[in-house]
Amino acid sequence: MIRKQLKNTIKSEKLKAFIKKSKIPVEFLFPNRKMITRGVVLGLFIAFIPMPMQMAAVLLFMPFFRFNVPIAIAMVWITNPFTMPPIYVAEYYTGAFFLGSQITDVQMSLEWFKNNINHIFIPLYTGALFYSISSASLAYWAVTHFWKRSVHRDKKIHPSKR
């Protein structure tokens, strides 16, 4: 269903006019399986890394990889201002567990974070790397699997449209 919606959206005359007016390279908007999968994987990988300007980081990858940019930017927003604190705390605890370091009590305040950044930096980014790689790998499998399943289901329902 999502696959069909994406393909129909790219055919929209309003969208085509906007793309032409904005001079957006069309190759970064293709709604095919590879481009969508790359966008989801890159967006999720960057989403779990604690850093400012995550959407700008997605755009920095444009010269090096071809991916669906709107999808990648949407995936970055999984870590939004409401979800960041619990995700970063989970990353810190996971990283501390993997490194075997002492876990300090976490307080959800900017002041605590500023005072303890030296102690939590390595465990936080270790956990972030774990979650980035895990979520990107799982997303790659899920998007590819469900996309192919959707194509096979459509071929069974409409065998004449090959």
pLDDT at 160: 67
- Statement: residue 162 has pLDDT above 70: no
pLDDT at 94: 95
At 67, which helix (H) or strand (E)? Answer: none
- Among residues 67, 12, 31, the alpha carbon closest in space to that of 147 is found at 31
* Residue 44 DSSP SS3: helix
Lookup result for tokens 């793309």: 19
- Statement: residue 1 has pLDDT above 60: no
2-10 vs 110-157: helix axis angle to the nearest 10?
Answer: 90
Question: What is the spatial distance between Cα 147 and Cα 77, in angstroms, rounded to a whole number?
Answer: 22
Q: Which own/partner pairs from 53-62 qualify as long-range (CB within 8 Å, at least 24 positions apart)?
A: 54/79, 62/28
Question: What is the spatial distance between Cα 57 and Cα 60, in angstroms, rounded to a whole number?
Answer: 5
Q: pLDDT > 90: what percent of the chain? A: 38
Give the model confidence (pLDDT) of 26-68 as tens digits.
666 777 888 889 999 999 999 999 998 999 999 899 889 888 8
pTM, rounded to two decimals: 0.80
- Please give the single-letter amino acid code of residue 157: I
